[in-house]
Amino acid sequence: MKKLLSMLLVLSGLFVVLALPASAEGKSATVYPIVIHMDEPAETMQASLERLSYLSSVATNLTIIDGNAHCQGNYSTAGTRLIRLTMELQRCSFASDSDSDWETIKTWTQSWSTSGTHMLTKKFPNISSGWYYRVATTATVLDGDIPLEIVKVYSIVRHY
């Protein structure tokens, strides 16, 4: 019984190691999700992008025109794995750095499995004044149902 238990523990440990994404070009293991804020200095964003294995870029943007929120998220990849892009329009009563203070008011999702740059652009009409708004875009690279890489990008916060 002890041998069987030992064997199962070794095999389960091996499975965990094999399930982790392989690091490319000797890069250290990446902790997911990678989080990027569009208002960070360019060097900080570049350092985050250099950690990516499957995606070459991920970005998001929010503009507010005449009370309408125009939301955009995009990514680029050279591969053909399935990539799910989820874009959330969020609001907060004050300009907070804490994710728990933000309320998601609309979510859009689209997936692609072709190389190139893919963009999701949506308009949310008649937003309420007196709030701070941002877009949170998440790009998830999938192998079946298993996430291989997750990148979450936050737009610049806008007040309306």
The whole model's pTM is what?
A: 0.80
User: What value does the mean pLDDT of the chain take?
Assistant: 86
Confirm or reject CATH 3.40.50.620 for domain 30-159, answering yes or no: no
Q: What is the pLDDT of residues 39-54, one digit of tens each?
A: 999 999 999 989 999 9
Domain locations in the chain? 30-159
Alpha carbons within 13 angstroms on the beta-carbon side of residue 33 total 16
Tens of pLDDT, residue by residue over 96-145, are 999 999 999 999 999 999 999 999 999 999 999 999 999 999 999 999 99
74-84 tens-digit pLDDT: 999 999 999 99
For the record, the structure tokens of 81 come out as 């794995």
β-pair type (34-37, 146-154)? parallel
Using DSSP's 3-state secondary structure scheme, residue 93 falls into coil
Burial class (CB in 10 A: 0-12, 13-18, 19+), 53: middle
Strands 55-65 and 103-112: unpaired
Calpha distance 151→58 (Å, rounded) = 7
Q: Supply the pLDDT for residue 29.
A: 56
